[in-house]
Amino acid sequence: MDPSNKASDNYSQQVRQCARRIQESRSAALGGLYDLTAQRLLRLALAITRSQHDAEDALQTTLVRISQNPELLCQAQQPWHYLLQMVRNNALQILRRRKPEAPIRQLDQLTTQCPVDELEMQEQYRAIWSALRKLPAEQSELVVLKIWEEMTFQQIATVLNISPATAASRYRYALQKMAFLLQSHMGQKIHE
């Protein structure tokens, strides 16, 4: 078995256990699911909405729905993938409701967590997120799922409801664009 599949299955089992605890004690166990999944779900929602507040709204909407109906996760074949789909759908719904003239927040307004305090790592992180934010949403969400969630193209295809070939193609194009954007960014830093 592929190690990433095993890790994903293990994570799905942890999500399912949290959902069962929520089912038994209702919202009292919701904190466990939040602690387990929030950072990862927020990262995906952020890649889609490009807004910290909208991403948090998508996450909150998902967790409220799970607290009201934990059976959704308990009965899902892959609870983690199902949860990713829920957050994605809520993020896309927020985008559809957003006014077209609403500005997309700048990266410096973003409050994503960076575990390393070293200035150089923060700069690299900002450059990567800046490049990621310049990609179309359908490519940036794919990069998040592939790199940060370590999902296979088959798993991504299931979550995004596309073919594995489409997932691989979008990923390849996204990496090419990101490489170009990061090279451009590095060229600007050298000339400054």
Structure tokens at 20: 């069962």
22 pLDDT more than 60 = yes
pLDDT band, residue 25 (cuts 50/70/90): confident
What's the rounded Cα separation, in Å, for the pair 94 and 139?
Answer: 18
Which of 59-68, 80-89, 124-133, 164-173 has the least mean pLDDT? 124-133
* Integer CA distances (angstroms), 123 to 35, 118, 147, 172, 188, in order: 27, 9, 19, 24, 13
Select 116-192's CATH number: 1.10.10.10, 1.10.1040.10, 1.10.1060.10, 3.40.50.11540: 1.10.10.10
Of 65, 29, 62, nearest to 45 by C-alpha is 62
pLDDT, tens only, 64-117: 899 888 898 889 999 999 999 999 999 999 988 886 644 444 444 444 444 444
Q: Is 130 exposed, middle or buried (0-12, 13-18, 19+ CB in 10 A)?
A: middle
pLDDT tens for 33-57 read 889 999 999 999 999 998 899 999 9
The count of other CB atoms within 10 Å of the CB of residue 159 is 23
Q: In the structure encoding, which two tokens stand for residue 78, read together?
A: 């892959």
Residue 113 pLDDT:
47
Domain range summary for the chain, segments of one domain joined by +: 1-100, 116-192
- Whether residue 168 is predicted with pLDDT greater than 90 in this model: the reply is yes
Yes or no: say if 101 and 92 are a contact pair by the CB < 8 Å rule.
no
* CATH no. of 1-100: 1.10.1740
pLDDT at residue 190, rounded to an integer: 46
